[in-house]
C-alpha cells in the first residue's frame, strides 16, 4: 500500500513538473526577455494581459496572475514589467480586477505582494459574494524603485520613481518620488534627497 501511495505521489509530481516545463516554454516564446525561476506559477488569461521588457527576472516560488477579465470586476487586469527589473522569490503579484505596472530597473525583494484589487464592503452580502472595488484599484510602481522583503502594496497605490519601501511595510497610500517609506501602515521616514 505504501509503495502504491509513493508511486502515485511521484506520478503527480512528475505531471506537475511537465506542466511547469510546458508553461515555461510558452512564456519563453512569448516573452523572451523574461527569466522565470522554477517552480513558479505564471497565470496569464490572454497574451495582451502581460507585457514584459528585456532582462526581467522573477525568482522561484512566485505566483503571478495577469487575468484580463473576471466576473468580480469591470476593470481589466494586466501586468507590465519594465526592462532590467528583478523580482525576488515567493512574490505574490495579482493583476486581476485592475492593472499592475512595474517600471524599469526596479528591485522587489523576496515575499513582496502587489494586489491590484480588493473586495467591496457591503453589509448585506458576504465578502465572497461581493464584487471587487473599482474606485481603488491597480498598482503603479515607477522606475528605479526598491521594495524590501515582505512588503505589501495595496490596491490604488502609486509609488514614484526611485522611492524605497522598507521591509515588512504595508503601503496604503501614494509614495512620492525619491522618498523612503516604512511601517504598517507605511509612512515617510526619509524625504527625497
Q: pLDDT value at position 5?
A: 77
Is 119 an annotated catalytic residue?
yes
In whole angstroms, what is the distance from residue 87 CA to residue 183 CA?
A: 21
In whole angstroms, what is the distance from residue 138 CA to residue 87 CA?
A: 18
Q: pLDDT value at position 150?
A: 98
Mean pLDDT for the chain overall: 89
Q: pLDDT value at position 123?
A: 66
Of residues 31, 84, 105, 119, which has the active-site annotation?
119
CB-based burial of residue 152 (10 Å sphere; 0-12 exposed, 13-18 middle, 19+ buried)?
Answer: buried
pTM for this predicted structure? 0.84
Q: pLDDT value at position 176?
A: 98
The dihedral region occupied by 31, where left means phi > 0, alpha psi between -120 and 50, and beta the remainder, is beta
Q: Are 155 and 98 in contact (CB under 8 A)?
A: yes
Instruction: Provide the 10 A C-beta neighbour count for residue 115.
Output: 22
Residue 57: pLDDT band by 50, 70, 90 thresholds? very high
Residue 1 in grid coordinates? 500500500
Position 20 pLDDT exceeds 70: no
Q: pLDDT value at position 27?
A: 65
Amino acid at each position: 500500500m505504501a509503495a502504491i501511495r509513493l508511486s502515485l505521489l511521484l506520478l503527480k509530481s512528475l505531471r506537475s513538473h511537465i506542466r511547469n516545463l510546458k508553461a515555461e516554454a510558452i512564456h519563453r516564446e512569448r516573452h523572451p526577455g523574461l527569466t522565470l525561476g522554477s517552480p513558479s506559477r505564471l497565470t496569464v488569461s490572454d497574451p495582451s494581459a502581460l507585457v514584459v521588457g528585456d532582462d526581467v527576472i522573477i525568482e522561484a516560488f512566485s505566483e503571478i496572475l495577469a487575468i484580463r477579465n473576471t466576473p468580480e470586476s469591470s476593470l481589466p487586469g494586466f501586468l507590465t514589467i519594465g526592462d532590467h527589473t528583478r523580482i525576488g522569490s515567493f512574490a505574490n503579484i495579482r493583476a486581476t480586477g485592475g492593472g499592475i505596472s512595474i517600471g524599469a530597473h526596479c528591485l522587489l525583494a523576496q515575499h513582496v505582494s502587489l494586489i491590484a484589487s480588493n473586495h467591496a464592503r457591503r453589509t448585506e452580502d458576504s465578502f465572497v459574494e461581493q464584487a471587487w472595488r473599482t474606485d481603488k484599484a491597480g498598482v503603479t510602481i515607477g522606475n528605479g524603485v526598491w521594495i524590501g522583503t515582505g512588503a505589501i502594496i495595496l490596491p490604488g497605490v502609486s509609488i514614484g520613481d526611485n522611492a524605497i519601501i522598507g521591509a515588512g511595510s504595508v503601503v496604503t497610500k501614494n509614495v512620492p518620488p525619491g522618498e523612503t517609506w516604512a511601517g504598517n501602515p507605511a509612512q515617510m521616514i526619509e524625504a527625497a534627497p
